[in-house]
Structure 1
């Protein structure tokens, strides 16, 4: 008796009948009818998507956050799986059945499961999720798949009557696949919503010798101002912190103003971030 073939090593999703009853009781826990996971498995978005796909027995299409997880999107939570399964109105706890109408070219195959394409996945998430969450996930999806706002907007034009289109267009207006963490996205949103010029993401700064000196999270070339979000590793890793100090000194010697942002500032004192960036831009001549 072997475990069901798993396209993602470590997920250990199995169907009843592929292992013995003794093995099921000893090593696995039931997540859906006929679908089990190994005890201790973290039920993240990817594992939930796999489990829902096995529950659907090939008759469903993974959509929304489940499709995003299958497409390699990072930083997703453990929300219920989402799928379209014709003829099904009810599903077990942990699975949401959508009633979306999917065109033939809006699905693809990932590791043996049918999922929505990157553009269609972003279209659905951008219509349904709360604004900040939608931007964070669409940013991460674009980063993982290299789909673009124009790809998503083109798909949206094919569904003019779909619910949530106005919300989606607001998301696409600020989405940027260059973001490499949710906090970078939230920092960018904070600055844009404060009325500051839209920053460029993953700004490459080149030295006089033509080599890249640094790549900044956010910045404005026109005014030589960059914004860096410092995650936990920037504070807990001594070598990383030392390099950050050296890197800032190098950038400032080249005429760049560096504004650093921490989780505490972003969560508790966002106005301080806005004020520091506004002052830096104004000092460089920006009309802010």
Structure 2
């Protein structure tokens, strides 16, 4: 068998495995659901295992649904989130007794999963503001969900918790963010009182190459970019960055580069100086 989760009793009845093989060659992910003992289950595999555990009736939701829709930055070790009323949920699984309208879930990868808009409705109502916005950004980057669709769901569930929190997160949502740190950086700039930066700004260098800047203000040609570890650990990436920055300088872009060690105060001061140099 491959590494896909399966219901043990069904596999035994079909003669695909023996009881001995089931005990020794497979690992029980959730009660009655197994996977190859050699596999480290991914989020997708765990989601399918949870769906099988629910007798193929549950609806995958929350961060798990976001991962199935293509959101990045979701740890495989996250508990699976499933809309399925069960007070005795097994370890590694979160179950919720939510009310869903028919258009709030759909079939994906052969399972029932909350739609991108419903997933955004759930994610945007919980956690701190920065975390909620980062999760919405990641989901939007993968699906380009509509804010209006999310607000329509909110209007439908007026008594749900966290609606004010959701509205605030949606107001800051930007699907152009390509990492949680880019979301964090954008929120730092907004909180500092700068005009809301535009994300993924296109710029054509002297060579004719097209570049995309993380965020900034096109009218004054000031950009702010977050440099992750790949920029310093990869020699090819470093060389590419040097050439890219030279081209951007030639077309008169100021690029403020931010790394993990920079404090918020330092970032704000540097961006303010860069903007002022263009506004004088």
Is contact 1:48-1:66 (8 Å) kept? no
1:243 and 2:252 matched? no
| Paired residues for 1:64-79 under 5 Å | 64-77=62-75, 78-79=77-78
Q: CA deviation at 1:212?
A: 5.1
Q: CA deviation at 1:25?
A: 3.4
Q: Which residue of 2 aligns with 1:14?
A: 6
Q: Which residue of 2 aligns with 1:273?
A: 267
Within 2, Cα distance between the matches of 1:40 and 1:195?
Answer: 52
Within 1, Cα distance between the matches of 2:186 and 2:18?
Answer: 52
Q: CA deviation at 1:198?
A: 1.1
Among residues 250, 260, 263, which one is paired with 1:253 in the alignment?
250
RMSD: 2.0
Q: State the TM-score, normalized to the length of structure 2.
A: 0.90
Q: CA deviation at 1:43?
A: 4.3
Q: Which residue of 1 aligns with 2:153?
A: 155
Extract unaligned runs of 5+ from structure 2.
12-16
Is contact 1:76-1:137 (8 Å) kept? no
Q: State the TM-score, normalized to the length of structure 1.
A: 0.88
Alignment: residue pair count: 273
Distance 1:204 1:109, change over 3 A: same
Is contact 1:122-1:141 (8 Å) kept? yes
1:143 and 2:141 matched? yes
Q: Which residue of 1 aligns with 2:14?
A: none
SS in 1 for 2:195: coil
SS in 2 for 1:264: coil
Q: Which residue of 1 aligns with 2:127?
A: 129
Is contact 2:206-2:247 (8 Å) kept? no
Q: Which residue of 2 aligns with 1:113?
A: 111
Distance 1:252 1:56, change over 3 A: same
SS in 2 for 1:127: coil
1:262 and 2:259 matched? yes
Is contact 2:59-2:82 (8 Å) kept? yes
Q: CA deviation at 1:208?
A: 6.8
Is contact 1:13-1:51 (8 Å) kept? yes
Q: Which residue of 1 aligns with 2:198?
A: 200
Q: Deviations for 1:155-212, whole angstroms, at most 9, x for unmatched residues? A: 2222222110000011101111111111111111121122222111111113578x55
Within 2, Cα distance between the matches of 1:46 and 1:72?
Answer: 10
SS in 1 for 2:73: coil
Extract unaligned runs of 5+ from structure 1.
4-10
Q: Which residue of 2 aligns with 1:187?
A: 185
